[in-house]
A and B are shown apart, each in its own frame.
Chain A
Amino acid sequence: MSEAAKNPSAGEPIIRIENVSKIFGGTVKAVDNVNLEVARGEFFALLGPSGCGKTTLLRMLAGFEVPTHGRVIIDGQDMSKVAPNKRPINMVFQSYAVFPHMSVEQNVAYGLKMDRRPAKEIRERVAEALDLVKLGSLGKRMPDEMSGGQRQRVALARALVKRPSVLLLDEPLSALDAKLREAMQLELVRLQKTVGITFVIVTHDQSEALSMANRIAVMNAGTVQQVAPPATLYEAPANRFVADFIGKINMIEGDAVAAGEGEVKVTAPAIGEVTLAGNATGKVALAVRPEKIFVDEKEPTDPKLIKVKGKVGEVAYFGSYSNVFFDIGTGAPLQADISNVSSDIEEFTFKAGEEYWVYWRKADTLVLGD
């Protein structure tokens, strides 16, 4: 409350994207009527396959593209047509774009010099920013003497030193090797908590988005499919695209008709008729995550379960679990992630052709429309 009292606009979202479209060359709709709000201090992710428009959206926030329609409002001001150098936003580029002819310090100081800050202030803020990204002792180094991870830290310090209201990150981890990427994910979250600046990250890597962001917008073909916290995206995807894009999922095609308040009756091959919570009617997919599926030799009796008979097909062993494909006679195999909870190898070895009862809870079943 006191925070809001000090800053009357604190309740306002820091970024508001209103009906924004971007059409390239008169025909190519890269971004199609997008509405989004990003709250102050949020770690927000734009997630989607390549070509879904997420980078174009980011570039419109930075000012490198002007929206064809709609408005981009940053910190209460319409910034749709404001040049990139006049926006309270800074960006970490995919290639890091560290100036190769400048030392680390000069790189970090560049933005402050453009703002004509006094030399003393620049020195202090550069040192502070370098400490923040743990490069305090490397200020005199040239970029070509640094590793990819260190160069990325330079890019981060260079953007953060300007104290922007929003920091944009364009696929920041894609150029790093797997181990460094994991470390950097934690580092970015730590950094965001320390500086309290709103982060907007663009990524095609769902694990990156899920592990770092407070909220994620999933995009496809220029439109926003769903905006939700990571767990909601995973457990309650809004449609087939989101369900399929985030994690692994089984989909059984069926037909649904409304059956009372918030319930639908679904008819699907191999399963028969089942009443589930949901709203979608017509052609739907019954979707269930592989780790929510159980396997037994005996037929389960609990009425809260959906059960089918399945024949073991492909088996992929991953150590802590096995990814087993069951043929349930629908054409599309049903995959289940079975945890290897016992060290008895025999007990968790699935052989092709064996028959099992495959079942899952009705509550874990999603009814997804298009």
Chain B
Amino acid sequence: MSLFKRNPDPMGPLDYSRRLSLRITVAVTLFFLYAPIIGLIAFSFNDSRRNVVWRGFTTDYYVKLFNNDALMLAFANSLTIAVFTTIFSTVLGALTAYVLWRYRFPGKAIYEGGMALPIVIPEICMGVAMMVFFARIGWPSGMMWPFNLSAITIAHIAFSFPFAAIVIRARLESFNPELAECARDLGASEFQVFRDVVVPHMKPGLIAGALLAFTLSLDDFVITFFTSGPDTVTFPVKIYSMVRFSVTPEVNAASTVLILLTLVVTAFALRMQNRNNMLGSAAH
């Protein structure tokens, strides 16, 4: 007869999910992460102008949202900027990553550091710098849509492509150089090696980099704020100006649409990546 009662199922050293302290930490984290977002989405259906107390369910504010021409234009502006930023950032990022990975040249370290600078520079500084820069060189304003967005797009590309480059560079690190040599040995030119062997390997990095650039561009406020004019308002900037008047459920509805859009794009990108993998294994 043992003096102590044995727990029939004692907690193992790695059974973290059964520790109370950890359970609380996880619960609190999830609460502060998702409660505001869920609240935001819920109150976009609130039938009240003041948006403080729940008055009943309505989709009126979504109708209002889609009839708000200024907001719709801002939305179209944001999407256009994001699409161009994504394309240019991914291409630039991929080329930068490839050059840094493939070649050794004098000043490489400086180039690498200089390229990553936009990541560490405070956004506010970058925004001011961009504003002064475009004013100083006299970048033409008041062009027709979508060319009036060029200044914002250039600013967005400047700060997003280093993120894409870093993601793609990380992916390249796992590349087996013998693959490239082998393709060369089989008769491929340098370009064919890049197209047939290196790019397919980079693909997950390209998708991740593109996704990053897209979301960075879509929700950027600070840099956009400094580079946008009265007729080039983007979605985040428009929401900000709306909030200054009053926080109506319309703002909630607009934010919900933005969240939804980001989720859809992410899901699409992930699906594309998975389908690539599945295509690979389903080929036989």
A111 at the interface (CB under 8 A from B): yes
CA distance A113 to B61 in the complex (A): 59
Prevailing SS type, chain B contact patch: helix
CA distance A7 to B284 in the complex (A): 44
Contact with A along B180-220 (1 / 0, CB 8 A): 01111111110010001100110000000000000000000
- Taking a contact as CB atoms under 8 Å apart, the answer to whether A90 and B185 are in contact is yes
By the criterion of a CB under 8 Å from any partner CB, how many residues of chain B are at the interface?
Answer: 21
- Taking a contact as CB atoms under 8 Å apart, the answer to whether A97 and B181 are in contact is yes
Closest residue of chain B to A161, judged by CB?
Answer: B186
The residue among B176, B179, B182 with the most chain A CB atoms within 10 A of its own CB is B182
Q: Given the complex, which residues of A lie within 8 Å of B188, measured CB to CB?
A: 85, 110, 114
Q: Given the complex, which residues of B lie within 8 Å of A111, measured CB to CB?
A: 186-187
Q: Given the complex, which residues of A lie within 8 Å of B192, measured CB to CB?
A: 114
Contact with B along A296-319 (1 / 0, CB 8 A): 000000000000000000000000
B56 at the interface (CB under 8 A from A): no
Give min CB distance, B225 to chain A, whole Å. Answer: 43
- Taking a contact as CB atoms under 8 Å apart, the answer to whether A142 and B280 are in contact is yes
- Taking a contact as CB atoms under 8 Å apart, the answer to whether A84 and B185 are in contact is yes
- Taking a contact as CB atoms under 8 Å apart, the answer to whether B281 and A97 are in contact is no
Give min CB distance, B238 to chain A, whole Å. Answer: 43
- Taking a contact as CB atoms under 8 Å apart, the answer to whether B284 and A142 are in contact is yes
A91 at the interface (CB under 8 A from B): yes
CA distance A158 to B185 in the complex (A): 11
Give min CB distance, B126 to chain A, whole Å. Answer: 38
B178 at the interface (CB under 8 A from A): yes
Q: Which of A66-109 contact B (CB under 8 A)?
A: 83-85, 89-91, 93-95, 97, 99-101, 103
CA distance A140 to B279 in the complex (A): 12
A321 at the interface (CB under 8 A from B): no
- Taking a contact as CB atoms under 8 Å apart, the answer to whether A97 and B176 are in contact is yes
A141 at the interface (CB under 8 A from B): yes
CA distance A90 to B186 in the complex (A): 7
Choose one: A93, A141, A155, A159; the contact of B181 (CB below 8 Å): A93
CA distance A48 to B182 in the complex (A): 24
- Taking a contact as CB atoms under 8 Å apart, the answer to whether A84 and B184 are in contact is yes
Give min CB distance, B50 to chain A, whole Å. Answer: 56
CA distance A110 to B284 in the complex (A): 18
Give min CB distance, B180 to chain A, whole Å. Answer: 9
Beyond the given A89-B185, A99-B197, A101-B200, please list 11 additional residue pairs across the A-B interface where CB-CB is below 8 A. Answer: A83-B184, A84-B184, A90-B186, A91-B185, A93-B181, A93-B182, A97-B182, A110-B186, A140-B284, A144-B280, A159-B185
Which residue numbers of A lie inside 8 Å of B, CB to CB?
Answer: 62-64, 83-85, 89-91, 93-95, 97, 99-101, 103, 110-111, 114-115, 140-142, 144-145, 155, 158-159, 162
- Sorted nearest first, the 8 A-B pairs with minimum C-beta distance are A114-B187, A111-B186, A97-B182, A140-B284, A97-B178, A101-B200, A93-B178, A85-B187
12 contacts between A and B (CB under 8 A): A63-B185, A83-B184, A95-B176, A97-B179, A97-B182, A99-B196, A101-B280, A103-B283, A110-B186, A115-B187, A145-B281, A162-B186
